Amino acid sequence: MQPNARLPQIILIATFIGFSWLAMQVVHELGHILGGIAGGGTIARVVLYPFAFSQTEVIPNPHPLLEVWSGAVVGAFLPLAIFLIATKFRSRGLYLFRFFAGFCLIANGFYLGVASIKGIADAGELLLYGSRQWQLILFGLMTVPLGLYLWNGIGSYFGLGEARGKVDRTATVVSLCLFVAVVGIEMLIGSR
């Protein structure tokens, strides 16, 4: 095997995980924005930056439970809905949609479930405003296994197992472009 034979695989995996992390934060914050607006609040600030954790401030926030829950719920289930639509239309690169949906389900569920133990971040706010810890843990117990289920069986598309490093070069280029685009956009809006 040539020394550069695994380079497309490495690029695909590294850039798609990076893209998934940043895009998951975008979808999560979109949930906070929609929940804040639906609850009659005003969006004061949204932080989206590649080197920071995302954040949305709603001031005033008449219905904080709606706003905070919306981050995790939209963040977990909007990518799943997009994946299901892509499945219906048999989109090329369906495994990328599947990976991203699984990533968002796992990240949001793990975030609320584990953070509820320490009472930090969104979980701390949810507990402060009346949610129960068991509700946050239940959310995690529903979303994390579903995310893992979506990931099951797609490793070969990322060159793992019997694929022995072989990946779709178009997917590698698309993943690299998506990652660069998200980082670029966040650098532009985050530097204001």
What's the predicted TM-score (pTM) here?
0.95
Separation between Cα atoms, residue 63 and residue 135, nearest integer Å: 18
For residues 38-48, average pLDDT: 97
Q: Does 178 map to a domain?
A: yes
User: 26: which 2 tokens?
Assistant: 């975008």
Beta-bridge partner residues of 56: 46
Q: Does 191 map to a domain?
A: no
Separation between Cα atoms, residue 66 and residue 33, nearest integer Å: 10
For residues 89-99, average pLDDT: 95
For residues 144-173, average pLDDT: 97
User: 130: which 2 tokens?
Assistant: 């009346």
Q: What is the pLDDT of residues 75-91, one digit of tens each?
A: 999 999 999 999 999 98
For residues 108-113, average pLDDT: 96
Residue where the block lists tokens 């929609």:
34
Domain count, the chain: 1
Output DSSP code: residue 154: -
Q: What is the pLDDT of residues 56-79, one digit of tens each?
A: 999 999 999 999 999 999 999 999
Note whether 96 and 67 are within 8 A (CB).
Answer: no
Q: Does 130 map to a domain?
A: yes
Is 158 exposed, middle or buried (CB count within 10 Å of its CB: 0-12, 13-18, 19+)? buried
Report pLDDT for 191: 55
Output DSSP code: residue 48: -
Per cent of the chain over pLDDT 70 is 97
Note whether 147 and 109 are within 8 A (CB).
Answer: yes
Q: Does 1 map to a domain?
A: no
Domain that includes residue 106, residue range: 7-185
Gyration radius of the chain over CA positions? 18
Report pLDDT for 190: 77
